[in-house]
């Protein structure tokens, strides 16, 4: 299923990711000090980033709390070629993008977009 188009809104060569900032605590909590090649896609904290700890599961199993992990090499390659405003299309999942959680204009039909016009 088509889950939506997300837009890169921030880029970090290195980023601390602490689950408590998005309400994940207890046994599911994490605090990673040096996540490399991180690109933010949503205001609620979804990123694409290097996740060398999950390379064996990538493309096969959901082992994240909402981020998309890549090998360090692939994440660096994408980071170096991506810019703020680039789109990332998500398919095949079960959780659609919430309107307004990031730059979500790409998910509107032309009629929806036009209805927001001041003209």
What is the C-alpha radius of gyration for the chain, rounded to an integer number of angstroms? 15
* pLDDT bracket for residue 65 (50, 70, 90): confident
pLDDT score, position 119: 67
**In the predicted model, what is the mean pLDDT of residues 75-103?**
91
Q: What is the rounded CA–CA span in Å between residue 8 and residue 89?
A: 11
How many helices (H) and strands (E) in the chain?
A: 2, 6
Q: Are 3 and 90 in contact (CB under 8 A)?
A: yes
The residue with greater pLDDT, 23 or 43, is 43
* pLDDT bracket for residue 1 (50, 70, 90): very low
pTM: 0.85
Residues marked as catalytic: 49, 67
pLDDT score, position 83: 98
């Amino acid at each position: 299923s088509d889950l939506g188009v997300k837009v890169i809104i921030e880029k970090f060569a290195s980023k601390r990711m602490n689950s408590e900032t998005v309400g994940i605590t207890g046994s599911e909590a994490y605090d990673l000090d040096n996540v490399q090649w991180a690109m933010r896609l949503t205001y609620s904290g979804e990123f694409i980033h290097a996740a060398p700890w999950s390379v064996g599961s990538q493309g096969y199993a959901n082992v994240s709390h909402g981020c998309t992990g890549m090998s360090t090499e692939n994440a660096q390659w994408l980071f170096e070629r991506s810019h703020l405003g680039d789109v990332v299309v998500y398919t095949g999942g079960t959780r659609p993008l919430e309107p307004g959680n990031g730059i979500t204009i790409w998910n509107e039909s032309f009629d929806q977009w036009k209805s927001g016009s001041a003209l």
